[in-house]
Structure 1
Amino acid sequence: MEKKTYYVNIGSQEISQIPYGANTEYTIEATDEEVFLLREKFNEIHEDDFGTYIRAHIPYVQYHDDRDNDKYDNDLQEALQMIYKLANQETKQAMEESNIGQEKNNETI
C-alpha cells in the first residue's frame, strides 16, 4: 500500500494531507490503514476527554485515583507512539530530542 504524507496536530486531533495553520506539529508518512488507526486513537482520546470533563464535576473523586484520567493519559501516549513510528526523519528527530513517543524499557514516554 502506498504511503502518503500527512500533517498531524495532537491538540486539535487533526490529520490532513494539506499543511495549513498549526496542523504541521508532526509530519508522518502513512498508508490509509495507518491513518485510520490513528484517527481511531484520536476518537478514543476525544471520548476519554469527555470522561475527564464529567469527573472534574464530581468533587469526591481524586485526580490521582481516576480511571478516566489514566485512560486519557494512556491513549495519548499510544497516539504519540504511533506518530513516532510513522514520523518522517525530521519529526522523529524532534520527538527524540523532546523525549516524546519512544519506548523506553517497555514504557512509552
Structure 2
Amino acid sequence: MNERKFYVSIETGEISEAKAGNNDDFVIYGGPEDIISLRECFDDLKRAEADTGFRATIPFKEYHQDDENDAYDYLFMKGYKKIYELGDAETKHHIESMPFFDQFEKIDDD
C-alpha cells in the first residue's frame, strides 16, 4: 500500500503532508482513500458545528435533548477514531489517554 505521512489538526480540520504552524497535533499514515475518508469526516464535522451554532440561538433547548449536538459529538469521536486508526505510536498513545476513547466501539467505520 502507498501510505504517506500526514500532519493533522482536528481543531482546524487540516490534513497536510507539510508540517507548518500548528498543524501537527497528530501524525498519521494513509493512502488516498484514507485521507479522503478523513477529509469527508472533517467536512461533516464542520457542517455539524454550524448546525449546533444555529441551534444555540433557540432558547430553552437543553443540550441533552439536542440532535444537533448529538450529531456533532458523534462526528467528533468518529474523526478521532479515524485518526487513531491511521496514527503513529505517539498519536495512538495520546488518543488512548482521552476520556472518550472507550466509546470508539460505538462509532461506525462507514
Indicate whether the TM-score tops 0.5. yes
Seq. identity, %: 33
Deviates more, 1:60-69 or 1:73-82: 60-69
Give unpaired runs (5+ residues) of structure 1.
none
Deviation, 1:99, is 2.8
Check conservation: 2:81, 2:104, Cα contact below 8 A: no
Secondary structure of 2:61 counterpart: coil
Check conservation: 1:27, 1:87, Cα contact below 8 A: yes
Indicate yes or no: 2:2 matched with 1:23. Answer: no
Q: How many residues align?
A: 107
Q: How does 1:4-83 map to 2 (within 5 A)?
A: 4-83=4-83
- What letter corresponds to residue 25 of structure 1 in structure 2? D
Q: Which residue of 2 aligns with 1:89?
A: 89
Check conservation: 1:83, 1:101, Cα contact below 8 A: no
In 2 relative to 1, CA 92–56 (structure 1 residues): closer, same or farther, beyond 3 Å? same
Secondary structure of 2:58 counterpart: coil
Deviation, 1:89, is 1.3
Deviation, 1:72, is 0.2
Deviation, 1:40, is 0.2
Check conservation: 1:5, 1:27, Cα contact below 8 A: yes
Q: What TM-score does the superposition give when structure 1 sets the normalisation length? A: 0.89
Q: What TM-score does the superposition give when structure 2 sets the normalisation length? A: 0.88
Output the aligned Cα RMSD. 1.8
1:12-68 Cα shifts (integer Å, max 9, x gaps): 010000001110000000001100000000010000001001001010321111000
